Amino acid sequence: MTPPGRPQISSRKRPQQARSTELVAAILQAAVKVLAEEGATRFTTARVAEKAGVSVGSIYQYFPNKAAILFQLQADEWRQTSEMLRRILEDAGKPALDRLRALVHAFIRSECDEARMRVALNDAAPLYRDAPEAQQARAAADRTFEAFMQELLPEASAATRALAGDLITTTFSVAGKRFSETPRTQAQIEAYADAMADMFCAYLKSLRTPA
C-alpha cells in the first residue's frame, strides 16, 4: 500500500495485448511532448490525454495519476542510461580508461540531446525521488559502476574506490546538467567531454600509481 501523502507511482496494470501496448506507447510519447512543451508544473493527465488523442479514462487504466506517468518516463530514462553504462563499461576488448572516456562522451552527448526533457523530469523528481521503485530503478547502474571501479582500481581500498566512484558520478550528474542547460555545438560538446575525461583519467591514474 502506498503510504499517506505519497502518490502511487506504480502502473495500474501491464499491457498484455498489442493494442494495449500501442496505447501505452502513445500515452508515453504524448507525455514526452507535453513535458517538453509545458514543463513539469503544467504537466497534467488531461493535457497528455489531449495530446495522445485518447480519453483521460484510458490513461487511468494504466497510470493512476500524473506521478505514475512521470515515473515511467524517468524509469525508462534510467533504464536507457543503465544499458548505455553497461554496454560501454563491460566492453572488455578496450582498456578501462578508454571505456571511461567513451562513457563521458556518450553521457555528455545524451545530456545535451535530451536537455529539456531532463530538466523537466528533474523538476518533477520530488513526486517520486524517494520511492522504493525509484531506488530499485537506479540500483542496476550503481552495480555496474561499482564493478567497473573494482576492475579499474583492484589494489585500492574499498573506501578509496567508493570515494572515486562517488566523485565521478556526482561530477557526471552536476556538471552534465549544468553544461546541457545552454545550447551547445558539437565542437563544444566534444571539447567539454574531452576535458572531463582527461580530468577523470588523470585522477584515476594517480590512484593506481604507488606512492
DSSP string over 54-114 = S-HHHHHTT-SSHHHHHHHHHHHHHHHHHHHHHHHHT-TTS-HHHHHHHHHHHHHHHHHHT
Residue ranges in the chain modelled with pLDDT below 70: 1-18, 127-129, 133-134, 137, 209-211
Q: pTM of the predicted model, to two decimals?
A: 0.75
Q: What are phi and psi of 180, to 5 degrees?
A: -80, -10
Above pLDDT 90, what percent of the chain? 50
pLDDT digits (tens, 9 = 90+) for 139-164: 878 888 999 999 999 999 999 999 99
pLDDT of residue 11: 56
pLDDT of residue 164: 95
Q: Which of 102, 193, 95, 74 is nearest to 152 (CA)?
A: 95
